[in-house]
Amino acid sequence: MPRIYRPFITGVILLFAICILLVGCSESSGSGSGSGEQGSAQASADEGQPQKGGEVAVAYNTDVSNYDPILGGSGGDHALLWPVFDTLISFNADLEPEPGLAESWEFPDDNTIQLNLREDVTFHDGTVFDAEAVRFNIERINSDESKITDLENIEEVEVVDSQTINLHLKQPDSSILLALADRGGMMVSPTAVKEKGESFSEQPIGAGAYKMASREPNGEIVLEAFEDYWKDNQPYLDKITIKVMGEENTRINALKSGEVDLAYDISPGNVQNLKNDANIVLKERTSVAFRKIYINTSLAPFDIKEVRQAVLHGIDRESIIQAINFGSGEIANQPFPEEYWAAGDMKIDYDPDKARNLLKEAGAETVSFSLIHHSNAYETRIAEAIQAQLKEIGIQVDLQAMELTAATAGYFSEKKAPALLSQWTGRPDPQMTMANLFSGESFFNTGSHSTPEIEEFLLEAASTNDQTERAEIYSQMSEQGLLEEAVHIPLFFITGVSAMTESVKGYEPTLLGKPVFTDIWKSE
């Protein structure tokens, strides 16, 4: 019998499903019951029932890199794309898959995923959402023009009927389901793409709760309610205005002055100040995103394993969290935070003596390297702390502050710098994270450093949906990739914080750490 994932509607079945998830031994992380929206959750008792109407202004830290989902590359894009483009699969606040435009799914065999699509769904231009539209989208996602690689394991897209589609995989891949909740599952109107061509991103058409009304690049994005949205009683708001404000103090001042109702991405230092403001509500949660040092293992001094290991053990992560984050955050001993099911119990010891001995073993008692970092004050403080700590073990770090786009381009595209202080923004499925961080073919593994064991672990994890088995494999992969090979240097998991007025309701931080604005409503 094929494994079937459908929303559970009876109390007994729901209770059983929750118990299975809690013990982590289910083979299936099925669709479950839910709203079908990224990160959505029922309104908490103190917020009351959602109200229709009104407007909300949001201060966001960056503009979208491209409003065509297959062409963008920034982790900050998702919050701006999700309101316009519904995804095939959704997820809840804990990154468990839920129904989206696909109301249920099945696994007829290990290499096939069958998606059962919602009926009576249309795109903003009136184009019908059906199996042909899904095939068009997935083939476009896997085309040469696309920057998305998450669905490359889909070998064929078979239309069974107007509401059913089979995804035939090259090999078993446990990440595909939640990859369809990311860019890979964002559905665009085939009609609009064919008519607009390269200008599609200027007038994006999706099937989301909000449609694009206007956009001023690096200025303001206005989203208006899509009246024919498939979800009953949504969207709640008439309009969402997103104001791009790169400077954090600008976002905070806009919130305090009433220019905006919600400010995203508040640093730990400002959190302390805002906690004393009775008119502001803070919502925060540790996410799968983490600060890290990307290192290019093909460049000196990181072509020597012992040097990489010395850096790994020469950084006091706890002191950085206390001194710079005011205690906010969690030490990144591995690629996943403790509350996430994929996390293991591996620890990275802070051991400066061990770090010095590693350098001696390598015959490299004096080492230096350049570290690129974003030029804002917060990133600079982290970079300076790392510089001071590594100096204590005999490593000189030359700091190079750059604007964010220049920093990432210089490291990832030009590959001229040995190290970059940045962050991993996380992915909905842990397999996506592990492949991106450790695979020798990954764009983010700039030195292309891997081992046969790591590549085998990736294949093993992809071939099972059992969470317990996957978590064990990821734990072994982390030990190989971090403690043994030190392919990158994790620092700490980020506690995402958003600040809002008391009238903003329905905002629920997710484990992914990327804000979801679709479920917001406003009280009178």
Q: What is the pLDDT of residue 413?
A: 85
Selection from 336, 295, 328, 332 nearest residue 317 by Cα: 332
Angle at Cα 500 formed by Cα 494 and Cα 501, nearest 5°?
Answer: 160
CB 263 within 8 A of CB 499: yes
Span 491-504, pLDDT tens digits:
999 898 999 999 99
Span 367-379, pLDDT tens digits:
999 999 999 888 9
Residue 99 pLDDT exceeds 90: yes
Residue 144 pLDDT exceeds 70: yes
Pairing type for strands 488-501 and 330-331 reads antiparallel
CATH T-level assignment (fold) for domain 290-493: Dipeptide-binding Protein; domain 3 (3.10.105)
253-275: average pLDDT: 93
511-521: average pLDDT: 93
CA distances (Å), 477 to each of 27, 152, 297, 451, 485, in order? Answer: 21, 22, 18, 10, 10
Confidence of residue 28 (pLDDT cuts 50, 70, 90): very low
Residue 246 pLDDT exceeds 90: no
CA distances (Å), 457 to each of 423, 431, 438, 451, 471, in order? Answer: 24, 10, 10, 10, 11
422-442: average pLDDT: 92
166-191: average pLDDT: 96
Q: What is the pLDDT of residue 106?
A: 95
Class of domain 3-205+503-522: alpha beta
CATH 3.90.76.10 intervals, the chain: 3-205+503-522
Q: What is the mean pLDDT of the chain?
A: 89
Q: What is the pLDDT of residue 410?
A: 86
CATH 3.10.105.10 intervals, the chain: 290-493
Confidence of residue 256 (pLDDT cuts 50, 70, 90): very high
Beta strand ranges found along 265-347 (DSSP E) = 280-295, 330-331
Q: To which H or E segment does residue 239 belong?
A: strand 239-244
Lowest-confidence segment of 8-12, 115-119, 344-348, 444-448 by average pLDDT = 8-12
Selection from 413, 485, 482, 424 nearest residue 449 by Cα: 485
Sequence-distant (≥ 6) Cβ neighbours of residue 446 within 8 angstroms: 294, 296, 297, 298, 411, 412, 415
311-331: average pLDDT: 96
Helix axes 430-438, 467-478, angle to 10 degrees: 20
Alpha-carbon span 307 to 268, nearest angstrom: 31
| Entry pTM | 0.81
For 398, other C-beta atoms within 10 Å of its C-beta total 11
CB 508 within 8 A of CB 516: yes
Between 182 and 43, the higher pLDDT residue: 182
